[in-house]
Amino acid sequence: EVQLVESGGGLVQPGGSLRISCVASGFNFNIYEMNWVRQAPGKGLEWLSYIGSNDISIHYADSVKGRFTISRENAKNSLYLQMSSLRAEDTAVYYCAREADIGPHFDSWGQGTLVTVSS
């Protein structure tokens, strides 16, 4: 069974940094492209970032480019999102999502981790 489990969310002050993680199981993580998607409270889904299976291809939404960094560690079946210069509007549930092998759509999602940016 495919599983994606996010962790690392919490309360952080404006201007602060936080790294969230996603551990994958039940599939060959090494060959799948991965993404981060977030959802602010009461709002819709917002795609944030993509990373190819081999780290070479990376893309960011304009809203986070220059502040967030996506990375992966295939040996640990793990996906990361390093977030810096956090703002109140970054408050959201952050999901990791597996890109389908016949994508680009998302065929598996984690349960999400809540990041709250507040003083």
Partner 1 sequence: SYVLTQPPSVSVAPGKTARITCGGHNLGSKSVHWYQQKTGQAPVLVIYHDTDRPSGIPERFSGSNSGNTATLTISRVEAGDEADYYCQVWDSSSDHKVFGGGTKVTVL
Which range in 15-23, 24-32, 59-67, 77-85 contacts partner 1 by CB under 8 A? 59-67
74: left (phi over 0), alpha (psi -120 to 50) or beta: alpha
Query: Total number of residues binding partner 1 (CB under 8 A)?
Result: 22
The answer to whether the CB of 34 falls within 8 A of the CB of 100 is no
Please select the residue that binds partner 1; options are 27, 84, 109, 116, rule is CB under 8 A: 109
* Residue in this structure with the two tokens 């917002």, named with its chain if needed: 46
Which range in 22-30, 72-80, 84-92, 97-105 contacts partner 1 by CB under 8 A? 97-105
Q: Does 31 bind partner 1 (CB under 8 A)?
A: no
What is d(CA 46, CA 119) in angstroms, rounded to the nearest whole number? 24
Which range in 19-27, 69-77, 81-89, 110-118 contacts partner 1 by CB under 8 A? 110-118
Give 55 or 107: the residue with its C-beta nearer to partner 1: 107
Q: Which residues pair with 83 in a beta bridge?
A: 18, 68
Q: Does 104 bind partner 1 (CB under 8 A)?
A: yes
* DSSP three-state, residue 93: strand
- Cis peptide bond N-terminal to 104, omega within 30: yes
Structure tokens at 47: 């795609």
Residues that bind partner 1 (CB under 8 A): 35, 37, 44-47, 50, 59, 61-62, 95, 100, 102-107, 109-112
